[in-house]
Amino acid sequence: MTGRTNRQIALARRPLGDIAADDFRHRAVPVRDLQPGEFLVQNRWLSIDPYMRVRMNEARSYAPPQPLDQVMGGTTAGDVIASNHPCFAEGDRVVGLGGWQLYAIDSGAGFVRVETSAVPLQAYLGVAGMPGMTAWYGIRHIIRPKSGETIVVSAASGAVGSVAGQLSKQAGCRVIGIAGGPEKCRHVVDDLGLDACIDHKAGNLDIQLAAAAADGIDGYFDNVGGAVLDAVMRRLNTFARVAVCGQISGGYDTTPLPLADTSMLLTARLVMQGFIISDHRDLWPAARAELVRLVAERRLVYRETIAEGLDAAPTALINVLKGANLGKQLVRLS
Ligand SMILES: NC(=O)c1ccc[n+]([C@@H]2O[C@H](COP(=O)([O-])OP(=O)(O)OC[C@H]3O[C@@H](n4cnc5c(N)ncnc54)[C@H](OP(=O)(O)O)[C@@H]3O)[C@@H](O)[C@H]2O)c1
């Protein structure tokens, strides 16, 4: 044994509806010795993502269920602190499937080395990581915005939405964000540079959308589904594109989210496409490189909400699901 103690958080039971702190089990186990071909990562940062709630359900979704009593899956960023692997050396900075724990042992399949001279390590969990690449894919490959078009992005202040909105602005579009509350809306306009922001908690979504998008909507990056999607659908222009990225308004329990009216699909000849970013790993290197460059050039700004210490991870996930985060939700582990 290495003499190190690994603290971990496992899934104790499958929640019904809202999740609670006691759905998780905290434990401490020794870090075992490395086998040939393995390396040890000290996880510095843990990414908290809405899909984690999906995996807490029994039913298979686009990702398999999180097994009970096993370390919660999740992406981490950290440092290689010992190595028996020919391609990973002590001191390497890495991002990968480290899970909700302080240390991870890997044989090279779960982690990639990252370069932190232009962006900080934890950016590879947010703006230059899976959320940023999700925005990049939905905008560049599904919505394909053209200069002068009107694009709407929901959860616009969040990890994915903040990148989707800024990439749409860079394409020369009028971009309208949708976010929860006046403080998030202020951030979306003043800091992210979008043209307008609608507060979905203020009610009158149809009236607010009609005022902000008087000429209709050409592209919608949908992070939330539900009533917001229905309201945007009613204002879509002919040949509009909808990138269906997330359905967080349903809470990601097992209740399906209905779509109120599908007639617009035909009458407006819409393209509506769901996508999961893990299906497009071949595009990740190019997407990541472009996002890193945009951040380094200060053409892409981002915010982080940071919870301190592994024990804060369950509450951080609860907070994301109720919208308490601004930008990327992270947990600082060490
Ligand atoms: N398809 C993919 O491959 C993929 C990959 C990554 C993420 N996603 C999805 O993308 C979406 C955003 O993920 P993220 O990591 O960037 O999270 P995030 O936007 O940083 O955080 C989630 C946000 O969702 C909003 N929200 C929560 N409950 C809501 C409700 N009832 N109605 C409307 N909005 C609600 C909240 O923002 P407000 O306070 O502004 O409402 C909250 O801050 C999620 O649906 C996620 O599952 C999909």
DSSP string, 143-204: I---TT-EEEEESTTBHHHHHHHHHHHHTT-EEEEEESSHHHHHHHHHTT--SEEEEGGGS-
Give the pLDDT score at 80.
98
Instruction: Please report how many Cα atoms fall inside a 13 Å half-sphere around the Cα of residue 310, on the Cβ side.
Output: 24
Q: Which residues line ligand 1 (CB under 6 A)?
A: 49-51, 131, 134, 155, 157-161, 179-180, 184, 200, 223-224, 228, 245-246, 248-249, 275-277, 320, 323, 325
Given a contact cutoff of 8 angstroms between Cβ atoms, the answer to whether 57 and 14 are in contact is: yes
Q: Ligand 1, closest atom to CA 179? A: 40
**Cα 18 to Cα 285: distance, rounded to the nearest angstrom:** 36
The CATH architecture to which 5-126+302-332 belongs is Alpha-Beta Complex (3.90)
Domain ranges of the chain: 5-126+302-332, 130-278
Give the pLDDT score at 309.
98
Give the pLDDT score at 247.
96
**Cα 48 to Cα 307: distance, rounded to the nearest angstrom:** 10
Probe residue for ligand 1, chosen from 167, 222, 248 as the CB with the greatest number of ligand atoms within 8 Å: 248
Give the pLDDT score at 254.
87
**Cα 302 to Cα 135: distance, rounded to the nearest angstrom:** 13
Can 5-126+302-332 and 130-278 be said to share one CATH topology? no
Probe residue for ligand 1, chosen from 140, 194, 201, 224 as the CB with the greatest number of ligand atoms within 8 Å: 224
Give the residue from 202, 124, 194 showing the smallest Cα distance to 159: 124
Q: Which residue owns the Cα nearest ligand 1 atom 3?
A: 276
Joined tokens for residue 64? 């398999």
The single residue listed with the structure tokens 């299906």 is 279
Probe residue for ligand 1, chosen from 133, 160, 331 as the CB with the greatest number of ligand atoms within 8 Å: 160
Ligand 1 center–CA 250 separation, angstroms = 11
The amino acid occupying position 245 is: C
Ligand 1 center–CA 69 separation, angstroms = 26
Give the pLDDT score at 209.
98
Pick out the chain residues at pLDDT < 50: none
Joined tokens for residue 30? 């020794």
Given a contact cutoff of 8 angstroms between Cβ atoms, the answer to whether 102 and 46 are in contact is: no
Task: Indicate the DSSP class of residue 286.
Answer: H
Q: Which residue owns the Cα nearest ligand 1 atom 40?
A: 179
**Cα 195 to Cα 129: distance, rounded to the nearest angstrom:** 25
Joined tokens for residue 318? 């609860």
Q: Which residue owns the Cα nearest ligand 1 atom 36?
A: 323
- Secondary structure class of 112 (helix, strand, coil): strand
- The answer to whether domain 130-278 has CATH 3.40.50.11030 is no
